[in-house]
């Protein structure tokens, strides 16, 4: 039996993960426990279908990352790299970036596949994942792709305002 422990201190993420996993038509045992400093969502594969188990967990974690981390990563990128834009301009660039993020994967560098594969590779090799640590140290390629999307958004914004 394979298991994965997802660690975080964000109650909204814990609630999202538990709700999402409970809705899925896969046979997993889900538990939520607090150990030391983290709340943990622990998943146990009851069908012994490792490939499908890791795929589903990676997809759900990808969705959680997009929902709870992605916008903040983009916002920080805009503030750090395009600090010369005023607050309203930065918000407009954020809006353009979010529209680009909704484009099909093949138009924006296979973001979904990249993130899912990073997560899947990590959870196959490790029994637990600390979400904040994973986002800080294990998703360099993903953050570079988001930086590129912000850059395209800024160029689009500047072209719009140069008329």
What's residue 107's pLDDT?
Answer: 77
pLDDT tens per residue across span 108-124 = 778 889 999 999 999 99
The string of DSSP letters for the chain reads: --EEEEEES-HHHHHHHHHHHHHSSS-EEEEEEEETTEEEEEEEESS--HHHHHHHHHHHHHHHHIIIIIHHHHHHHHHHH-TTS-HHHHHHHHHHHHHHHTS-GGGTTSHHHHHHHHHHHHHHH-SEEEHHHHHHHS-HHHHHHHHHHHHHHHHHHHHHHT-
Q: What percentage of the chain exceeds 70 in pLDDT?
A: 99
pLDDT tens per residue across span 48-80 = 788 899 999 999 999 999 999 999 999 999 999
Q: What is the pTM of this model?
A: 0.92
What's residue 47's pLDDT?
Answer: 84
Quickly state the pLDDT bin for 163 (edges 50, 70, 90).
Answer: low
Please count the structural domains in the chain: 1
What's residue 4's pLDDT?
Answer: 97
State which residues form the domain around 79: 3-161
């Amino acid at each position: 039996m394979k298991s994965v422990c997802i660690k975080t201190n964000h109650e909204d993420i814990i609630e999202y993960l538990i709700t999402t996993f409970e809705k899925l038509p896969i046979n997993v045992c889900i538990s939520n426990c607090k150990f030391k400093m983290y709340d943990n969502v622990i998943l146990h594969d009851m069908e012994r279908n490792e490939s499908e188990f890791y795929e589903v967990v990676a997809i759900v974690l990808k969705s959680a990352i997009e929902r709870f981390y992605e916008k903040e990563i983009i916002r920080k990128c805009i503030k750090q790299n395009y600090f010369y834009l005023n607050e309203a301009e930065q918000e407009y660039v954020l809006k353009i970036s979010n529209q680009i993020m909704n484009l099909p994967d093949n138009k924006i560098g296979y973001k979904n596949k990249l993130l899912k594969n990073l997560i899947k590779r990590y959870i196959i090799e490790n029994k637990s994942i600390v979400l904040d640590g994973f986002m800080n140290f294990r998703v360099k390629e993903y953050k570079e792709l988001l930086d590129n999307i912000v850059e395209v958004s800024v160029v689009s914004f500047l072209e719009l305002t140069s008329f």
